[in-house]
Amino acid sequence: MTTNTRLSLDSTGEASVDSKNHSAISAESAVLRISEAEAATAAAITSTETASTVPTDNSRVLLNMGPSHPSTHGVLRLLLELSGETVLRSKPIIGYLHTGMEKTAENLTYVQGGTNVTRMDYASPLFTELAYSMAVERLLEIEIPDRAVWIRMLMCELNRMSSHLLFMATNGMDLGAVSMMIYGWREREEVLRFFEKVTGLRMNHNYIRPGGVAADLPAGWRDDVSDLLELIEPRLDEYDTLLTDQPIWRERLQDVGIITTEEALALGATGPLLRASGMPWDLRRDEPYMFYDQVDFDVVVGDHGDCYDRYAVRLNEIRESMRIVSQIADIMPEGDFRSQNKKITPPPRTRINESMEALIHHFKIFTEGFQVPVGDVYAAVESPRGELGVYIVSNGTSKPYRLHVRAPSFVNLQCLPHLMHNGLIADGVAIISSVDPIMGEVDR
């Protein structure tokens, strides 16, 4: 059972902005439609003209922000058209981190694919692994053990917490709250320490695999999770004290980068960016997958669709994930942590030293992979940044014929020109941070 939790941002008595009263921004007024070559030429002319003259308030300047910039959350380049300090139009330019992972997937078996997709969203790698594994399992038409499903939910909700904690840290740093970087990073490290204990790695785990998970939870995991929740809960209250009601923090974020529900939906935005505008859409509740229909949590939504709402939504989503994790720890059943279908699951490592057949079986699984029936499938999950979907086309071999990832960071990024339209360049960093893009997922 789930309900909607609507954030009230008027506790200080400040005037609020109703996002429904904001008129829609046309694409032409916000988006800078100019090629990179034209931009370079225009920027050179502008710099030549302004070098010998004193710029006026009405002069328009083309300015590059990034791709080497500490607050663009990776190699993101923004081409800005400025009038004084006001951003008239902007154009996000991507591709500086392109690694061709979707094309690479065509040359990797389904077994090897997990090591590829986990590197896309490096802040929440388990979600990409989950969407990929769910897509492969649907093609194979197999069911995985209940314990494996609950383990996946446990790890993903902890990963949602670590991702949002990273947002708290970097968002604070971007806006000058340097101590927040230390505190948010400190709590995230505790979650990553648990991941390392379970998967052997802090990031890029390749832990969630077609058929289940790579290994069972270690002994004492319930105590580790309980200690983790007890540690983080009071720290979130400290974040409230440090940031939520802090006048400077509110001044920097409230009524900045407003987007209405209609605009967010038109641009395909999902996740906290959409929910902050007032749309209570969450795949875990509205299109349930795994066992999310068996846990109790609230879908957190905002009122105004500004940077402050996006911050508050993510902060409270950490608390909701903690609720889910606590319930999972109580529900976790006994049983297998992966499917016992020998066509897709390698034998236990202990048997490799005892049986030649087991050694051959293990060798064939990891060198040749397993064949997947012909077909195509789309599987989507609710990642910390929105709807993360994996589309796979199978031609009946052990490798995907095509693989495409619906990356929420990529889709949400096209909201930037609308969020930054007629805002100050000083607010540009706050707006980019509030979208929380991961450039590895954008360029992939």
Tell me, what DSSP letter sits at residue 208?
Answer: E
Buried b (16+ CB within 10 A) or exposed e, 42-60: beeebeeeeeeeeeeeeee
Q: Per the structure block, which two tokens stand in for 212?
A: 């289940």
What pLDDT does residue 321 have?
Answer: 97
Tell me, what DSSP letter sits at residue 297?
Answer: E
Least confident of 9-23, 280-294, 392-406, 427-441: 9-23
Task: Round to whole Å and give the CA distance between 38 and 119.
Answer: 34
**207-229: average pLDDT:** 95
Read off the amino acid at residue 102: E
Tell me, what DSSP letter sits at residue 106?
Answer: G
Q: Judge whether 379 and 121 are in contact, CB under 8 Å.
A: no
pLDDT for 2-24, tens place per residue? 555 545 443 333 333 333 333 33
pLDDT for 263-307, tens place per residue? 999 999 999 999 999 999 999 999 999 999 999 999 999 999 999
Q: Per the structure block, which two tokens stand in for 138?
A: 């649907």
Domains of the chain from N-terminus onward: 110-405 (1.10.645.10)
Strands across the sheet containing 386-394: 375-383, 386-394, 400-406
What pLDDT does residue 233 have?
Answer: 95
Indicate the pTM of the whole model.
Answer: 0.88
pLDDT for 255-272, tens place per residue? 999 999 999 999 999 999
How do strand 386-394 and strand 77-83 relate by DSSP bridges?
unpaired
Q: Judge whether 269 and 259 are in contact, CB under 8 Å.
A: yes
Q: Judge whether 207 and 155 are in contact, CB under 8 Å.
A: yes
User: What residues are paired with 64 via a beta bridge?
Assistant: 79
Asked whether the predicted pLDDT for residue 40 surpasses 70, the reply is no
pLDDT for 81-135, tens place per residue? 999 899 999 999 999 988 899 999 999 999 999 999 999 999 999 999 999 999 9
CA-wise closest residue to 346 among 212, 148, 205, 150: 212
Strands across the sheet containing 60-65: 60-65, 77-83, 86-93, 423-424
Q: Whose structure tokens read 């109580």?
A: 330
Task: Round to whole Å and give the CA distance between 323 and 152.
Answer: 16
Q: In whole angstroms, how large is the CA radius of gyration of the chain?
A: 23
Asked whether the predicted pLDDT for residue 54 surpasses 60, the reply is no
**Residue 214 CB contacts under 8 Å (≥ 6 apart), including other chains:** 199, 205, 206, 207, 208, 338
